[in-house]
């Protein structure tokens, strides 16, 4: 059974997706959009790939763009961190916008935790953001702010709590919100004004947290106070978060596909913006066969 037959069969069994089934001509067209390094990785590599796991009901092979009608939101949390790194912080401008990217991994085992494994083959030659760790939430150096703590999980909550302090409507257990980029930038401006005007101070933060004794809350308390202190020094809360989350000082790298593959043995999170071919792992051999046939035919 050829890849094209498998794809058509898969599409008829599940929800039809016009234009997603690939025939030999489409495979040839996509081959021409792949760099030689991507094709070589597909045909010859045995271990190091870019993966994505998903529980979505998708066909064996499909093509997709990372840039949709709406920006991608953070999964399983609120959206402040994604907005900061995608739209607000100067140090992240040369990196692919995470709210317009595919977030992937070089770890087959980690991808499997999220569902069916797909091999991700970029079309074109995009830049990849590469984390120093298996997950971006574990990728930031923390001693500067919280000894022994990972700062990243505190980012979203810090913005929400400082916003509540700024509005003088303090509810420490408010539900996590989701926000657009414009809303987040306006909110940060309001927080900045509140800190510089003295509406939010370290003493106010201490007072609100006085009755809360567990370690996580103490860490969050210290984190908020450091944000306030550094914002007073910088006169700009964007600069404060930019210094904390700077990708270079935290060990992030910008790479092309061949270097991503070389670093794949480290098991890291990667992301890129653009189009890609997604191949369900159990159909990878069939796709290799059809590409080799096309190459042998000189196409």
| Predicted pLDDT of residue 89 | 92
**3 φ/ψ angles, rounded to the nearest 5 degrees:** -55, -45
Q: Please report which confidence band the pLDDT of residue 215 belongs to, taking 50, 70 and 90 as the band edges.
A: low
Is residue 26 scored above 90 in pLDDT?
A: no
> Within this chain, do residues 20 and 117 fall inside the same structural domain, yes or no?
yes
User: Token pair for residue 18?
Assistant: 């016009």
Q: Does the residue 74 lie in any domain?
A: no
* Tally of domains within the chain: 2
Q: Please report which confidence band the pLDDT of residue 16 belongs to, taking 50, 70 and 90 as the band edges.
A: very low
> Within this chain, do residues 113 and 150 fall inside the same structural domain, yes or no?
no
Q: Please report which confidence band the pLDDT of residue 254 belongs to, taking 50, 70 and 90 as the band edges.
A: very high
**Where is the domain boundary, 227, 245, 263?**
245
Lowest mean pLDDT among 17-21, 119-123, 153-157, 166-170: 17-21
pLDDT (mean) for 2-27: 50
| Predicted pLDDT of residue 247 | 94
> Within this chain, do residues 162 and 194 fall inside the same structural domain, yes or no?
yes
Q: Does the residue 240 lie in any domain?
A: yes
Using a pLDDT cut of 70, give the percent of the chain over it. 79
CA torsion, ordered 17, 39, 287, 12, to nearest 10 deg: 0
Distance, in Å, from the CA atom of 207 to the CA atom of 171, rounded to the nearest integer, reads 13
- Give pLDDT tens digits for 112-135: 998 889 999 999 999 999 999 898
pTM above 0.85, yes or no: no
> Within this chain, do residues 290 and 202 fall inside the same structural domain, yes or no?
no
> Within this chain, do residues 175 and 119 fall inside the same structural domain, yes or no?
no
pLDDT (mean) for 93-115: 93
Is residue 22 scored above 60 in pLDDT?
A: no
| Total residue count of the chain as it appears in this document | 299
Q: Does the residue 264 lie in any domain?
A: no
- Give pLDDT tens digits for 60-87: 777 888 887 777 776 666 678 888 899 8
Q: Does the residue 94 lie in any domain?
A: no
Distance, in Å, from the CA atom of 210 to the CA atom of 191, rounded to the nearest integer, reads 22
Average pLDDT, the chain: 81
> Within this chain, do residues 12 and 112 fall inside the same structural domain, yes or no?
yes
Q: Does the residue 285 lie in any domain?
A: yes
pLDDT (mean) for 45-62: 83
Looking up tokens 């257990």 gives 173
Residue 262's SS3 state is helix
Distance, in Å, from the CA atom of 127 to the CA atom of 271, rounded to the nearest integer, reads 9
The residue among 233, 289, 268 whose CA lies nearest residue 139 is 268
> Within this chain, do residues 168 and 227 fall inside the same structural domain, yes or no?
yes
Q: Please report which confidence band the pLDDT of residue 147 belongs to, taking 50, 70 and 90 as the band edges.
A: low
> Within this chain, do residues 186 and 290 fall inside the same structural domain, yes or no?
no
Residue scoring higher pLDDT (18 or 93): 93
| Predicted pLDDT of residue 9 | 42
Lowest mean pLDDT among 7-16, 103-112, 217-226, 254-263: 7-16
**70 φ/ψ angles, rounded to the nearest 5 degrees:** -120, 150
| Exposure of 232 in the CB half-sphere (CA atoms within 13 A) | 12
Q: Where on the phi/psi map is residue 79: left (φ > 0), alpha (ψ -120 to 50), or beta?
A: alpha
Q: Does the residue 162 lie in any domain?
A: yes
Q: Does the residue 90 lie in any domain?
A: no
> Within this chain, do residues 121 and 28 fall inside the same structural domain, yes or no?
yes
Distance, in Å, from the CA atom of 81 to the CA atom of 67, rounded to the nearest integer, reads 19
Q: Does the residue 130 lie in any domain?
A: no
Is residue 7 scored above 60 in pLDDT?
A: no
Is residue 296 scored above 90 in pLDDT?
A: no
Residue scoring higher pLDDT (286 or 130): 130
| Exposure of 155 in the CB half-sphere (CA atoms within 13 A) | 28
The DSSP output letter for 124 is B
Report strand pairing: 102-105 vs 269-272. antiparallel
User: Token pair for residue 196?
Assistant: 């510089």
> Within this chain, do residues 54 and 7 fall inside the same structural domain, yes or no?
yes
CA torsion, ordered 282, 283, 285, 288, to nearest 10 deg: -150
| Domain interval for residue 231 | 140-245
Distance, in Å, from the CA atom of 37 to the CA atom of 257, rounded to the nearest integer, reads 7
> Within this chain, do residues 151 and 238 fall inside the same structural domain, yes or no?
yes
> Within this chain, do residues 19 and 120 fall inside the same structural domain, yes or no?
yes
* 173 burial level (CB within 10 Å; 0-12, 13-18, 19+): exposed
| Predicted pLDDT of residue 172 | 42
| Predicted pLDDT of residue 168 | 66
């Amino acid at each position: 059974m050829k890849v094209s037959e498998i794809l058509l069969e898969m599409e008829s069994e599940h929800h039809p997706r016009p234009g997603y089934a690939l025939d030999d001509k489409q495979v040839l067209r996509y081959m021409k959009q792949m760099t030689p390094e991507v094709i070589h990785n597909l045909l010859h590599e045995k271990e190091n790939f870019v993966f994505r796991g998903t529980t979505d009901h998708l066909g064996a092979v499909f093509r997709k763009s990372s840039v949709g009608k709406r920006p991608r939101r953070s999964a399983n949390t609120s959206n402040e961190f994604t907005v900061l790194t995608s739209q607000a912080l100067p140090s992240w401008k040369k990196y692919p916008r995470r709210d317009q990217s595919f977030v992937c991994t070089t770890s087959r085992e980690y991808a499997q935790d999220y569902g069916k494994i797909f091999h991700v083959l970029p079309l074109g030659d995009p830049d990849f953001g590469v984390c120093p760790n298996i997950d971006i939430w574990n990728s930031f150096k923390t001693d500067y702010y919280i000894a022994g703590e990972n700062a990243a999980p505190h980012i979203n909550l810090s913005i929400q709590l400082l916003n509540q302090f700024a509005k003088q409507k303090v509810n420490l257990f408010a539900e996590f919100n989701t926000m657009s980029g414009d809303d987040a930038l306006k909110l940060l401006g309001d927080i900045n004004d509140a800190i510089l005007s003295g509406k939010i101070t370290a003493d106010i933060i201490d007072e609100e947290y006085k009755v809360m004794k567990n370690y996580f809350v103490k860490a969050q308390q210290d984190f908020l106070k450091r944000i306030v202190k550094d914002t007073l020094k910088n006169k700009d809360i964007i600069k404060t978060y930019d210094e904390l989350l700077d990708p270079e000082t935290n060990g992030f790298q910008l790479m092309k596909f061949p270097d991503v593959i070389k670093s794949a043995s480290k098991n890291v999170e990667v992301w890129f913006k653009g189009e890609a071919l997604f191949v369900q792992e159990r159909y990878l051999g069939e796709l290799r066969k059809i590409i080799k046939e096309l190459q042998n035919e000189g196409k």
